[in-house]
Amino acid sequence: MSYRTLISCFILLIGSGLLLVLNSCYYPPEESRGEERVKPPAAQDRYKYWVDAGWEEILSKRKQFKKQGYRMVDIETYPWKGRIRYAAVWRPGKQASRLWLAESWDEFKLKWEVFKQENFRLIDVEVFEDNRQTKYLGLWRDGGFRSRMKSKMDWGTLIVVRDRFAEEGFRLVDVEPYTADNQVRYAAVWKEATGKHRIWKSGSWEEFLAKRDMFSREGLRLIDLEIFQENGEKQYLGIWLPGKDGHRLWAETDWKDFRRRSDMFEKAGFTLIDIEIDTWGGSKQFSGVWRFGPKTPEPPLPPSGDDVLEAP
């Protein structure tokens, strides 16, 4: 029985600091994994995360971590052995939030309107197929900022809409690739904001890292990473927003290595903000984006009726 490991190291200097980016691709044999449930370390201060959960379990963890003073900031779905599994990230905070799994677009649209009236705004969306049914999972945060969402876009449409919304004062904060009618489509969330922003998609990990380097020198930081397949080829998609803090990216690694790196980054003062899990080839691969220190909460804007939800 053998292991196939591919490690690519990229070292770059930013200012006077040294940033190390490592990409580790690891493929253990099936029998070595067994049915081990993947769980994060019990004690974490800067953040908590939980993976490989069913829907009821992720709701239970959300309730548990809320009592401990943590709020959910990111949620991820992925297929595993014929079932949809959930992963999520929490950070310290008492800000109220809403999480809803809709069985249809109409149900999701209804909840959008209900939560809008309660002064909640969408910050993260997942679109996936479960039992031949398209479902929509949304995470809303308390606050009066304006937000927009549009789904079922092809890549060209996404870029056109991004440019139009940018002119109107909105910045892309989340993109979700998914399959509809055997084609890759995109759902996206925008938040009222100013400043530079970037989105980049590439079939080459080396090119993606090069763009990350370039955008970093422009004063931008990766906030969302998506890894998916299109026409049988792996694609890397990222969103960058303004930032001057330190940052780390660890991609496509096995669970033990992800936990080890997460612990190391946390001890160095970094906070996990985005988790990505892909399951091609019969194994789970974990990726994460970390930012230095806890992010200062953004002050809420006055409530506005300019929210836009465009039907697919």
pLDDT for residue 312: 53
Contacts 24+ apart (CB under 8 A), 104-107: 104/133, 104/134, 104/135, 104/136, 105/134, 105/136, 105/151, 105/311, 105/312, 107/136
Instruction: Walk along the chain (312 residues) and give the pLDDT tens digit of each residue.
Output: 433 333 333 333 333 332 333 333 322 222 222 233 344 444 447 899 999 999 999 999 999 999 999 999 999 999 999 999 999 999 999 899 999 999 999 999 999 999 999 999 999 999 999 998 999 999 999 987 899 999 999 999 999 999 999 999 999 999 999 999 899 999 999 999 989 999 999 999 999 999 999 999 999 999 999 999 999 999 999 999 999 999 999 999 999 999 999 999 999 999 999 999 999 888 999 999 999 976 544 434 444 445 566 655
In one letter, which amino acid is 309? L
DSSP 8-state code for residue 38 = P
Beta strands in 93-119 (DSSP E): 97-102
pLDDT for residue 33: 28
Helix or strand run (H / E) with residue 14: strand 4-14
pLDDT for residue 248: 97
> Are 224 and 199 spatial neighbours (Cβ–Cβ below 8 Å)?
no
Strand partners, 156: none
> Are 226 and 177 spatial neighbours (Cβ–Cβ below 8 Å)?
yes
Contacts 24+ apart (CB under 8 A), 34-40: 38/255, 38/284, 40/259, 40/262
Pairing of strands 247-253, 198-202: unpaired
Order of strands across the sheet that contains 220-230:
198-202, 233-242, 220-230
Find tokens 């422009």 and name the residue: 218
For 56, the token pair is 């009821």
pLDDT for residue 220: 97
Chain-centre distance for alpha carbon 96: 19
Pairing of strands 17-27, 247-253: parallel
pLDDT for residue 143: 82
Burial of 155 (0-12, 13-18, 19+ CB in 10 A): middle
Find tokens 């079932």 and name the residue: 83
pLDDT for residue 162: 97
> Are 266 and 46 spatial neighbours (Cβ–Cβ below 8 Å)?
yes
Length, in residues, of the chain: 312
Distance separating alpha carbons of residues 140 and 211, to the nearest angstrom: 30
Beta strands in 93-146 (DSSP E): 97-102, 120-130, 133-142
